[in-house]
């Protein structure tokens, strides 16, 4: 059975901010990425669907970029939530982040048919901005490295929501 994240930060995103195609629990057409703590690191586990193909046998890079992206914003939310004295599952709404920048290095072809694990290290670079450095593993091998700078969601989003 696939390893699962028990307490995910996305489960605590407020409903009005939970429509993300990557990780919003209100978007049933989306990937439903879920990110939790694993010690001091963050982890997101996802098995791509058969349609998420690059070349038959390998996973589409854009899907992996999406995984790195939402893993990044989720990790930043985890970090700030803990800094505020909270943990996912404790009933407190989680903070929401947006992606300022995303960088992905594709080290080798990513095989299909196995769960991908994104494991992140989180660093505060400003009170409202966090850098998340991620390794994506397939079969315990690092296939992709990513870096996300995530910023606390600005009011420009909320106003239009």
Tell me which residue of 129, 126, 125, 123 sits closest to 153, measured CA to CA.
129
47 binds a second copy (CB under 8 A): no
Would you give the binding string for a second copy spanning residues 142-161, x where CB under 8 A is met?
A: -----------x--xxx-xx
For 109, the token pair is 């072809």
Does the footprint of a second copy cover residue 24 (CB under 8 A)?
yes
Of residues 110 through 149, those in contact with a second copy by CB under 8 A are none
Phi, psi angle pair for 62, to nearest 5°? -65, -35
Q: Measure the CA–CA gap between 153 and 161, rounded to whole angstroms.
A: 12
Rule CB under 8 A: choose which of 52, 81, 86, 131 binds a second copy: 52
Q: What tokens does 23 get?
A: 């990780």
Residue 27 within binding range of a second copy, rule CB under 8 A: yes
- Contacts for 127 with CB less than 8 Å, ≥ 6 apart: none
Contact yes or no for 125/149 (Cβ under 8 A): yes
- Residue choice 91, 105, 127, 140 for contact with a second copy (CB under 8 A): 105
Answer whether 112's CB lies under 8 Å from 58's CB. Answer: yes
Q: How far is the CB of 39 from a second copy (least distance, A)?
A: 26
How many residues make up the chain in this entry?
Answer: 161
Among 5, 22, 79, 117, binds a second copy (CB under 8 A): 22
**Interface residues with a second copy (CB under 8 A)?**
16-17, 19-22, 24, 27, 29-30, 51-58, 60-63, 65-66, 69-70, 98-106, 108-109, 153, 156-158, 160-161
């Amino acid at each position: 059975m696939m390893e699962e994240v028990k307490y995910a930060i996305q489960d605590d995103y407020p409903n009005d901010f939970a429509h993300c195609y990557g990780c919003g629990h209100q978007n049933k057409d989306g990937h439903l990425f879920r990110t939790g703590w694993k010690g001091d690191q963050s982890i997101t586990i996802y098995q791509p669907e058969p349609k998420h193909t690059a070349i038959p046998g390998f996973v589409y890079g854009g899907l992996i970029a999406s995984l790195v992206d939402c893993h990044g914003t989720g990790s930043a939310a985890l970090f700030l939530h803990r800094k505020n004295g909270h943990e996912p599952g404790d009933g407190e709404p989680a903070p929401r982040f947006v992606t300022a920048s995303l960088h992905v290095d594709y080290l080798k072809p990513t095989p299909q048919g196995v769960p991908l694990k994104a494991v992140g290290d989180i660093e505060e670079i400003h009170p409202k901005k966090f850098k998340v450095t991620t390794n994506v593993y397939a079969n315990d091998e690092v296939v992709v490295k990513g870096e996300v700078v995530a910023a606390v969601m600005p009011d420009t989003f909320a106003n239009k929501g």
